[in-house]
Amino acid sequence: MGDGPVMSMNRLLLPCLLLLLCVGCGGSEPAETEPASATPAAEPAAPPVRWAIAIHGGALSVVRPDLEQQDYRAALETALRTGTVILERGGTSLDAVEQVIRVLEDDAKFNAGKGAVFTSAGTNELDASIMDGRTLACGAVTGVTTVKNPISLARRVMEDSRHVFFAGQGAEAFARQQGLRIVDPRYFFTQDRWEALQKQLQQDGAEPVAAGDKQGTVGCVALDRHGNLAAGTSTGGLTNKRFGRIGDSPVIGAGTYASNRSCAISGTGKGEEFIRNAVAHDIAALMEYKQLTLQRAAEEVVLRKLRPGDGGVIGVARDGSIAMVFNTQGMFRGAADSTGRLEVLIGKD
Ligand code: ASP
């Protein structure tokens, strides 16, 4: 009888102790009461704010003394800054790629647009391509002789036609329909490219020339603040190229490729080798299927699959990293990103 109060206290304390034990030992109850949607991982990711851009102005078999390259450095920096302004303000990677390449096409120092090299027949036949990494949409043109800015024509093919690749007269008819700037073929004439052809014809007969000391095919790759990648390439091809020859620059997967799943790539060098090895797509595939970093994927293809002297690539990955890899003596190139990086390089350093 005298045990009465103790018993009633026990009756009260026992359930409380059991409840405390259950919470303390991490039983299933508390986990289930925590809603999954409250964890940070389930919230929508914040939009990426990083941007990055890289450009090239051609692979070089000979690197001339730095002083002689000053004009090229300045021209590359001007083009690079055109792209950085667009990306900094939240513009698209496609706009950056197109506008940067237009600047380089209008500069006679580079082998694209004004300043393109001559074919064996003494004509200028221009190639260009562009690709949108967000949708895999792409556009390319080859063998155009009257379109002032082939990269803009490639973009129109991508955005305003049902096709991806237009050649020669058809490409030019489409350019006229689109109201793009048409020029007389003589617009593309430059004295030093003409002399390079004459020298080539005397020395090697029909041999086309790959990278020289100022070959100057141009390309641009970019990642915008919206997380989208784009790539573009524009060229006059090789000095002394034969009738109808098409290089890698307008061939999607060879000289140009972009996919938001991996990276954006633009190449320069011996076009035939870049086509045989599907260079640009191969780098993207190594990233996508083998999870290689951009740098490692580019090295795998450019340094191990291609042969020394074949050329190089620029690339930007979806994480904003940049790679510029070549197996020639040098490559006119530049890179910039939202961390404040801005550099123009020519030789191996
Ligand atoms: N890849 C270009 C072509 O073969 C030339 C170059 O990049 O210099 O047409």
Q: By C-alpha distance, which of 185, 189, 267 is closest to 221?
A: 267
Q: pTM of the entire structure?
A: 0.85
How long, in residues, is the chain? 349
Residue 309 burial class via C-beta count within 10 angstroms: exposed 0-12, middle 13-18, buried 19 and up: middle
**Which pLDDT does position 207 carry in this prediction?**
56
Could you give the count of Cα atoms lying within 13 Å of 220 in the half-sphere of its Cβ? 35
Ligand 1 atom closest to 127 (CA)? 9
**pLDDT at residue 202 greater than cutoff 90:** no
Ligand 1 atom closest to 241 (CA)? 9
Ligand 1 atom closest to 237 (CA)? 9
Residue nearest ligand 1's atom 4 by CA: 271
Q: Which two tokens stand for residue 63?
A: 């690197």
Our CA dihedral for 99, 101, 102, 103, rounded to 10 degrees, sits at 90
In degrees and rounded to multiples of 5, residue 136 shows phi and psi of 65, 15
Q: By C-alpha distance, which of 332, 271, 268, 279 is closest to 304?
A: 279
**Which pLDDT does position 66 carry in this prediction?**
73
**pLDDT at residue 123 greater than cutoff 90:** yes
What residues contact 88, with CB distance under 8 A and at least 6 apart?
Answer: 51, 338
Cβ of 2: how many Cβ atoms within 10 Å?
A: 5
Residue nearest ligand 1's atom 7 by CA: 268
Catalytic residue positions, numbered: 217
Ligand 1-lining residues (CB < 6 angstroms): 58, 211, 215, 217, 235, 237-238, 247-249, 255, 268-269, 271
Cβ of 276: how many Cβ atoms within 10 Å?
A: 13
Give DSSP secondary structure letters for 150-206.
Answer: HHHHHHHHHHHSS-SEEEHHHHHHHHHHTT--B--GGGG--HHHHHHHHHHHHHHTT
Q: How far is the CA of 210 from the centre of ligand 1 (A)?
A: 7
Model pLDDT for residues 21-60, shown as the tens digit of each residue? 433 333 333 333 334 444 444 555 555 589 999 999 999 9
Pocket test residue of 55, 242, 268 for ligand 1, highest count of atoms within 8 A of CB: 268
